[in-house]
C-alpha cells in the first residue's frame, strides 16, 4: 500500500516516534519506512525488538531528516516525558 498524503505536522514538527508491536507479529510493516521518508525534522525513531529484522533496511533508506537516529529498544517514561513532539504507536 502506498500513501501519497503526508500531514503537514510530519513535515514541520514531528521529532520523536516510538513504534511498538508484539513480538508475535511476523509480517513486515511499512510504517517505520513511512516515518523515515516523510518526517523532515525527525530526530529519533525508536522501534522495539519486533522490528529487528527490518532495522538494516530502515537504516539504509534515504531520510528526509539528516539528524534522524533509528534505535531499537523500549524507552522509559522518563526518557520521553521531555519530548513534546512525540508520537507513540502501539500495535494490538
Please answer whether residues 80 and 86 qualify as being in contact, where contact means their C-beta atoms are separated by less than 8 angstroms.
yes
Tens of pLDDT, residue by residue, the chain (92 residues): 455 677 787 778 888 888 887 666 655 578 888 889 888 899 988 888 778 778 888 888 888 888 898 888 765 544 555 555 566 666 54
Collapse the DSSP code of 8 into the 3-class scheme (helix H, G, I; strand E, B; otherwise coil) and give the result.
Answer: helix
Alpha helices in the chain (DSSP H): 8-12, 31-38, 55-60, 77-80
pLDDT of the residue at 58: 86
pLDDT given for residue 1 in this prediction: 47
The ranges assigned to domains in the chain are 8-90
pTM of the model: 0.72
Cell numbers describing residue 6: 503526508
Task: Give the Cα separation of 17 and 13 in Å (integer).
Answer: 11
Q: Are 89 and 31 in contact (CB under 8 A)?
A: yes
Amino acid at each position: 500500500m502506498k500513501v501519497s498524503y503526508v500531514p503537514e505536522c510530519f513535515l514541520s514538527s514531528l521529532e520523536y516516534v516510538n513504534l511498538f508491536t508484539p513480538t508475535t507479529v511476523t509480517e513486515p510493516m511499512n510504517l517505520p519506512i513511512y516515518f523515515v521518508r516523510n518526517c523532515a525534522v525527525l530526530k529519533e525513531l525508536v522501534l522495539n525488538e519486533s522490528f529487528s529484522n527490518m532495522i538494516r533496511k530502515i537504516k539504509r533508506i534515504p531520510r528526509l531528516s539528516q539528524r534522524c537516529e533509528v534505535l531499537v529498544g523500549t524507552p522509559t517514561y522518563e526518557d520521553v516525558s521531555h519530548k513534546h513532539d512525540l508520537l507513540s504507536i502501539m500495535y494490538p
